[in-house]
Structure 1
Amino acid sequence: MATPPTVPAPPPFHEEQTLVALWPVHDPTGVDTPAAPPGPRTGGRADARRAAHRRQRPALPENLRRLVPQALVVAFLAGGTTAFVAHDKAVRLTVDGEPRTLHTFADDIDELLDDEGIAVGAHDVVTPAPVGDLDDGDEITVRHGRPVTLTLDGVQRRVWTTAGSVDGALRQLGVRAEGAYLSVARSSSIGRTGLALDVRTERTVTFMADGRERTVRTNAGTVREAVAEAGITLHGEDTTSVDPHSFPRDGQTVSVMRITDSREVHEEPVPYAEQRSEDDSILAGTEVVEREGRPGVRRITYRVRTVNGVRQRPRALDAEVVRTPVDRIVKVGTAARPRSVAGADGLNWAGLASCESGGRPRAVDAGGTYGGLYQFDTQTWHSLGGSGRPQDAPASEQTFRAKKLYLQRGASPWPHCGRRLTG
């Protein structure tokens, strides 16, 4: 009986070589050869590792190449199964709260996430940390970060959270939500795109109103809202010591100001102007008032505010002239003054003036009929060439007119004091 030819032992093989014995495929040379099974996901360090193993395979002689597949089958059945199973790991992967169990040949967490197509950003959290080897039975959790535009007690900022709900985000951010106002329900979920959240925590605010102090706990967004929660009603022009639209701060004290608003109308005089013109028919130094001035009247409407019973300074709202002022017209004499009146210059005119008016050029009697040093009446004064009123003329002109009157009528115009002229 012929001795069968000796079959040389196959060379050593790696783990990936052990796996190919399970699926034979047809070889064009006539010998069935094993095909590669569907292995782990391609890409990442897994592909790099398999490529390295393929580069390390030794080249076989031609006469042994046909015998290797059968030998591999035998080797797999004998011990290759152990190597295959040793590299297949069952792990539990939870992504954003959704768990699943999967089998993988990845060596570590980074490779596992790469194989599963899970990208990890700067705000994402992976536990345990993606370092070290991946073992069978490991549990990996991935929580993606979510942007939240948080307005907390009127201050806005952008934060990141890995929580999947508003309630979880508040706990993660350390925001006290008891008694707080939330623009979004606490049970609401937070998607990967994030959300905007307005939170107003409960604060203590004290109000001083109508002589009383009231302290309330509130999550109001404005001082005006907090005033209403304190049971205080603002009427008309009433307001607060701070802007009623401002945000109420914890520990803040706010005064309520009761304001009454009224209108008052006052009439005030409008001063008149004076028109002056020269007149050569009047002696120099003499001013004659042709028309007395008259003040006008201005009507002014004021706004008067009373704050907590205290009257404030009135503020003018409107003004109108209800009577126009009348200008004062004055004639100013420019004619040369006569030096003397013949026949009257030597008399005691100072004595007469002292007797008639006490020597006062502006003197007027109690009835208003006579005026000046010599107590002329207006008609006599005008007949002597005077203008206006005698008491308005200079003392020198009054004496000049008195001398002219003496030449016409003697001392008779001054029945009681006329004797002073010669005495």
Structure 2
Amino acid sequence: MRTGSPGAYDAPVMRTGSPGPYDAPVMRTGSPAPYDLPVTGPRPPDPYEIPPPGEPGAGSAGAYAAAYAPTVAALALPRQNSAVRAAGVPELPAPPSGRAEARRAARRRKTADRPDTFRKLVPQALVVAFLAGGTSAFVASDKDVRLTVDGVPRTMHTFADDVQELLDDEGLDVGRHDIVAPGPGADLASGDDIVVRYGRPVTLTLDGQRRQVWTTARTVDEALRQLGVRAEGAYLSVSRSSAISRSGLALDVRTERTVTFMADGRERTVRTNAATVQEALHDAGIALGGQDTTSVPLGSFPRDGQTVTVMRITATQQVREEPVGFDVVRTRDSALFAGTEVVEQQGRPGVRRVTYALRTVNGVRQKPRRIAEEMVRQPVTQRVRVGTRQLPDSVQGADGLDWGALAHCESGGRSGAVDASGTYGGLYQFDTGTWQALGGSGRPQDASSSEQTFRAKKLYVQRGASPWPHCGRRLYR
């Protein structure tokens, strides 16, 4: 038990009887606790005690007494009353004794210690709360994800909230031909797998049909499976294991097809990936010779299920000479009686030599085809004079005779009749010399009937019926 007034750090006063709910702790006996103050010795200074006048710090207390007198009066402990009186602060009334006083003293000591402790603890608590909250937010935002780009995976930590933000952070641009799974708008959570596959342009020529396609496959084999192209037995312009770069490639694919050939009376069916009918013929073991050909062009693409006929062709040539008709030019002549035509120049046909190609297809002869021609002899134009002069109505001395009966007897009434020797011709069987002596032109059989009758009348006037010794008497019936 110490003597003197208790300090702020003194141990609690020994009580007697049962402690109340607000009593200070009972002093222990025995060995002191590690945090107990020593029982004897000088009392440590009280940081809240106002020094009495004449002691160090009294001047300071005097300077602040007026400003803080009410506060100090409210917080001063009982043993500080002397210092308060020296500072001019009204003295607190003497505390009552007993357990009530002990409880009030304990509360005053707690109240005196609380402000400084509170001021120290609040900033520390704020810092701890800030650090704890920031750490929690940091841990909550950090995500462990797996990003696979074109088959290359890597695990990373990210603060991105969704897939698009992660792609932006990684500098990955995706277009409409690219695949992102899950989609760019999907939220991210720790443990997610994000897959990015870039599209690649492929110029695909499939069985002769060219088109531009896009694929996310990284190899030719994977692209063929993705595009649904049957690669078994097919021809590929590049290896199936070849990689497809981001810039793409050109790929020619010819699938295996069934083609049937009809040749030499037999049918042959083959499986081929040939590019042309000619290559497919070679695969079928069929050879073409001479002018042999097929029912479809040899350079065409053989389609699946197509039937092609092989045509065996034999070819020869034939040369023929053919006549070429002549032209006829007619000239009007007023010296000739109307209806009379005189051939001034006899026409003559020309001759043309023509070469024909003859061929047989599978034993059947085809229509000859003209392949060349040359003129052997040029035709000669026939020139004819046509009379325009009007015939006289009568010949004096011969008009009353029966000229029809004479013509019927001499030529059967045919104006173009010619005797068997070719000497006499026409209705009245004139010889050419007599005819021309009477003013006729050309041959009598070429003149009109009226002109022939007119010349016959003139002959009768000159010589009577003697020119017609057998039929002349018919003129008089």
Using the size of structure 1 for normalisation, the TM-score is: 0.71
The equivalent residue for 1:179 is: 233
Q: Which amino acid is the alignment partner of residue 221 of structure 2?
A: D
Task: Tell me how large the CA RMSD over aligned residues is.
Answer: 3.7
The equivalent residue for 1:384 is: 438
Q: Is the 8 A contact 1:15 1:83 kept in 2?
A: no
Q: Is the 8 A contact 1:109 1:134 kept in 2?
A: no
> What is the CA-CA distance between 1:132 and the residue it aligns to?
4.5
The equivalent residue for 2:279 is: 225
Q: Which amino acid is the alignment partner of residue 94 of structure 1?
A: T
The equivalent residue for 1:322 is: 376
Query: What are the residue-to-residue correspondences of 1:47-196 with 2, within 5 Å?
Result: 91-104=145-158, 112-127=166-181, 131-135=186-190, 139-196=193-250
The equivalent residue for 1:216 is: 270
**One of 125, 132, 135 as aligned partner of 1:11:** 125
The equivalent residue for 1:49 is: none
The equivalent residue for 1:205 is: 259
Q: Which amino acid is the alignment partner of residue 420 of structure 1?
A: R
Using the size of structure 2 for normalisation, the TM-score is: 0.64
Aligned-pair identity in percent equals 68
Deviation string, structure 1 residues 226-258 (Cα, Å, up to 9, x no partner): 233222334454443334333322222233344
**Distance 1:99-1:280 versus aligned 2 partners, 3 A rule:** closer
**Distance 1:380-1:12 versus aligned 2 partners, 3 A rule:** same
What runs of 5+ residues in structure 1 fail to find an aligned partner?
A: 19-52, 55-79
**One of 399, 409, 434 as aligned partner of 1:355:** 409
227-236 vs 368-377, which moves further: 227-236
> What is the CA-CA distance between 1:319 and the residue it aligns to?
4.6
The equivalent residue for 2:470 is: 416
Deviation string, structure 1 residues 117-172 (Cα, Å, up to 9, x no partner): 44444433445667454335x55443333222222223333333232211112122
The equivalent residue for 2:305 is: 251
Number of residue pairs the alignment of both structures matches: 362
Q: In structure 1, how many angstroms separate the alpha carbons of the residues matched to 2:179 and 2:455?
A: 119
**Distance 1:358-1:146 versus aligned 2 partners, 3 A rule:** closer
**Distance 1:133-1:102 versus aligned 2 partners, 3 A rule:** closer
> What is the CA-CA distance between 1:269 and the residue it aligns to?
3.1
> What is the CA-CA distance between 1:418 and the residue it aligns to?
3.4
Q: In structure 1, how many angstroms separate the alpha carbons of the residues matched to 2:169 and 2:129?
A: 19
Q: In structure 2, how many angstroms separate the alpha carbons of the residues matched to 1:282 and 1:220?
A: 82
**Distance 1:356-1:114 versus aligned 2 partners, 3 A rule:** closer
**Distance 1:122-1:394 versus aligned 2 partners, 3 A rule:** closer
Q: Which amino acid is the alignment partner of residue 8 of structure 1?
A: L
Q: In structure 1, how many angstroms separate the alpha carbons of the residues matched to 2:365 and 2:238?
A: 47
Deviation string, structure 1 residues 196-241 (Cα, Å, up to 9, x no partner): 2222211112222333222221222233322332223344544433
Larger Rg, first or second structure (1 or 2): 2
Is 1:365 aligned with 2:419?
yes
Deviation string, structure 1 residues 44-76 (Cα, Å, up to 9, x no partner): xxxxxxxxx77xxxxxxxxxxxxxxxxxxxxxx
Q: In structure 2, how many angstroms separate the alpha carbons of the residues matched to 1:207 and 1:336?
A: 80
What runs of 5+ residues in structure 2 fail to find an aligned partner?
A: 1-36, 38-43, 48-115
Q: In structure 2, how many angstroms separate the alpha carbons of the residues matched to 1:244 and 1:15?
A: 88
**Distance 1:171-1:412 versus aligned 2 partners, 3 A rule:** same
